[in-house]
Each structure stands twice: as structure tokens, then as C-alpha cells.
């Protein structure tokens, strides 16, 4: 039976880093609404044009746009192990997901809550650098690339995300506490809290032990 897992937690908690490990090592497919939206913005699609202003301000993109993305993705991924990374982010999105999953006979196996303080998030996001070509994620201090500011995997110069500037980070945290944190209660029956301040390998081991 294929697994359906949600990674819940503030921006910068390490959800993408762990999704990458599970993708490389354990045959999971990662559905990151943030990555899908950034790609749409880059390609100036209709979705991208609608989403851009919300993303630049650190606000959530409207639920109907997000649920459309997910419904298209689910069609392609019927028998796969899925991690939802950064989705759902509102109770309305969680309700929409529940309906879509029940139509295809799937259920949520686990919601992993990445537990971390706002101060640590600010440190992580202000030092985050990403590869615009292959999506690899680094940190200037915690996980630096081997060669100065160049991706280890594909050699492309790394960039800082537009929304990883301090004033936008603060806004994204506020949005998380107001709109996304209510999901902790919503998913209490399947919630597994992990300490997101451990090393990436220790967090990975913890996640593997509960899945
Ligand atoms: P999210 O997907 O939740 O927004 P990321 O996986 O992009 O978070 O991680 C945010 C930043 O923190 C990145 O720069 C990443 O390299 C770094 N990071 C991720 N996991 C850890 C960890 N366990 N310890 C220290 N730094 C981490
Ligand atoms: P992330 O890469 O998950 O940090 O997301 C970056 C930005 O994309 C967020 O600040 C939002 O503007 C938007 N976004 C990503 N996922 C969602 C979602 N599930 N619901 C609403 N907005 C989202």
C-alpha cells in the first residue's frame, strides 16, 4: 500500500531537506506547492502570474489555485508514496485534500510536525541558498556548498530566494502561526512531532522510524 505523508511546520523548518532525502533514498515523490509555484512564476504561466504578488509579500496563495495544483498532481501519482511538503497550509486546503484523497481511496498515514522556534527559523532562512537549476538547498553555515556559492550537484551559481529576506521571513512566520498552525489540532489523530533542531541525519532517522 503506498504511503501518504504530510510535512507540517514553519518555513525553514527543514521540510524540503528531509523530502529530498526520502526522495533519494526511499522512493517517495515530493509534492512541494512552493516549488511548483516558483516554477510557474519563472515560466510566467497564468498560475505564476496570479501567485507572484502573494509570494513576494510572504502571504498565502488563494486556496482554489493551490487545490487545482494538487488535483492535477494526484491524477499522475496514483500508486506512489507521496510527501506533501508545505501543503496543506489552511484548514480549507486540508478539507479539500481529504475529499480528493477519499475519491481515489487513499488516506493520510502520518502528519510530521517539524518543531522549531521562530528565532531558529530566521537564522536558517537568512542563510539559505538554493540552486536555481536543480533545486538543491544549502545553508551558508549549517550546510555550505563545497565550492564557494556553487551547487555541488550541477555547478550552477547559487541564489538567495526573494522571500528569504528578513522582513518577508517575519511576515511568513506570522502567516504560519495564524493560518497554518491550526492544522496541528486538525490533524491531532495522525500527528507525529519531531525535534527539527537535530542534525538532518538524526531527523531523517526519526522520520524513518515512525513511517
Ligand atoms: P523548509 O523546506 O521547511 O522551508 P529547508 O529544508 O529549505 O526548509 O531548510 C531551511 C534552511 O535550513 C536551509 O538553508 C537548510 O540547508 C537548513 N537546514 C535544513 N535542515 C537543517 C537541520 N536539521 N539543521 C540545520 N540546518 C538545516
Ligand atoms: P515554501 O516554498 O513552502 O516556503 O512556499 C513559498 C511561498 O509559496 C509561500 O510563502 C506562499 O506564498 C506560497 N505557497 C506555497 N505553498 C502554499 C500553500 N499550500 N498554500 C498557499 N500558499 C502557498
Q: How far apart, in whole angstroms, are the C-alpha atoms of residue 160 and residue 131?
A: 9
pLDDT at 1: 76
Pocket test for ligand 1, best of 58, 131, 136, 137 (most atoms within 8 A of CB): 137
pLDDT digits (tens, 9 = 90+) for 118-174: 999 999 999 999 999 998 999 999 999 999 899 999 999 999 998 999 889 999 999
85, 32 Cβ separation under 8 angstroms: yes
Judged against a pLDDT cut of 80, whether residue 196 lies above it is answered with yes
Atom of ligand 2 nearest to the CA of 12: 4
Question: In Å, what is the CA distance from 196 to each residue of 7, 73, 142, 204?
Answer: 12, 28, 13, 10
Q: How far apart, in whole angstroms, are the C-alpha atoms of residue 104 and residue 205?
A: 30
pLDDT digits (tens, 9 = 90+) for 80-126: 999 999 999 999 999 999 999 999 889 999 999 999 999 999 999 99
Distance 33 CA to ligand 2 centre (A): 6
Q: What predicted TM-score, i.e. pTM, was given to this entire model?
A: 0.96
Phi, psi of 82 (to 5 degrees): -120, 135
Q: For each of the domains in the chain, give its residue range(s) and CATH number, in order of start.
A: 4-117+165-210 (3.40.50.300)
Atom of ligand 2 nearest to the CA of 172: 10
Nearest to 84 by CA among 4, 201, 186, 185: 4
pLDDT at 78: 78
Q: How far apart, in whole angstroms, are the C-alpha atoms of residue 74 and residue 52?
A: 24
The three-point CA angle 204-67-188 to 5° equals 50
pLDDT at 12: 97
pLDDT band at 79 (very low <50, low <70, confident <90, very high): confident
pLDDT at 170: 95
Q: Parallel, antiparallel, or unpaired: how do β-strands 81-85 and 137-139 relate? A: unpaired
pLDDT at 195: 98
Dihedral of the alpha carbons of 76, 80, 85, 86, in degrees to the nearest 10: 50
Q: How many CB atoms lie within 10 A of CB 158?
A: 20
Amino acid at each position: 500500500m503506498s504511503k501518504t505523508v504530510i510535512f507540517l511546520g514553519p518555513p525553514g523548518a527543514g521540510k524540503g531537506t528531509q523530502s529530498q532525502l526520502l526522495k533519494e533514498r526511499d522512493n517517495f515523490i515530493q509534492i512541494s506547492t512552493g516549488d511548483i509555484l516558483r516554477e510557474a512564476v519563472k515560466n510566467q504561466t497564468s498560475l505564476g502570474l496570479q501567485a507572484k504578488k502573494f509570494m513576494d509579500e510572504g502571504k498565502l496563495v488563494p486556496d482554489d489555485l493551490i487545490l487545482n495544483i494538487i488535483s492535477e498532481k494526484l491524477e499522475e501519482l496514483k500508486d506512489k508514496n507521496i510527501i506533501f511538503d508545505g501543503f496543506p497550509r489552511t484548514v480549507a486546503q486540508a478539507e479539500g485534500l481529504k475529499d480528493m484523497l477519499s475519491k481515489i481511496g487513499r488516506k493520510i498515514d502520518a502528519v510530521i510536525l517539524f518543531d522549531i522556534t521562530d528565532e531558529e527559523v530566521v537564522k536558517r532562512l537568512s542563510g539559505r541558498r538554493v540552486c536555481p537549476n536543480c533545486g538543491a538547498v544549502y545553508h551558508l553555515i549549517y550546510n555550505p556548498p563545497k565550492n564557494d556559492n556553487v551547487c555541488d550537484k550541477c555547478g550552477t551559481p547559487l541564489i538567495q530566494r526573494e522571500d528569504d529576506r528578513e522582513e518577508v521571513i517575519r511576515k511568513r512566520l506570522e502567516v504560519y502561526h495564524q493560518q497554518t498552525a491550526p492544522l496541528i489540532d486538525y490533524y491531532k489523530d495522525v500527528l507525529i512531532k519531531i525535534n527539527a533542531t537535530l542534525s538532518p541525519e538524526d531527523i531523517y532517522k526519526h522520520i524513518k522510524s515512525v513511517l
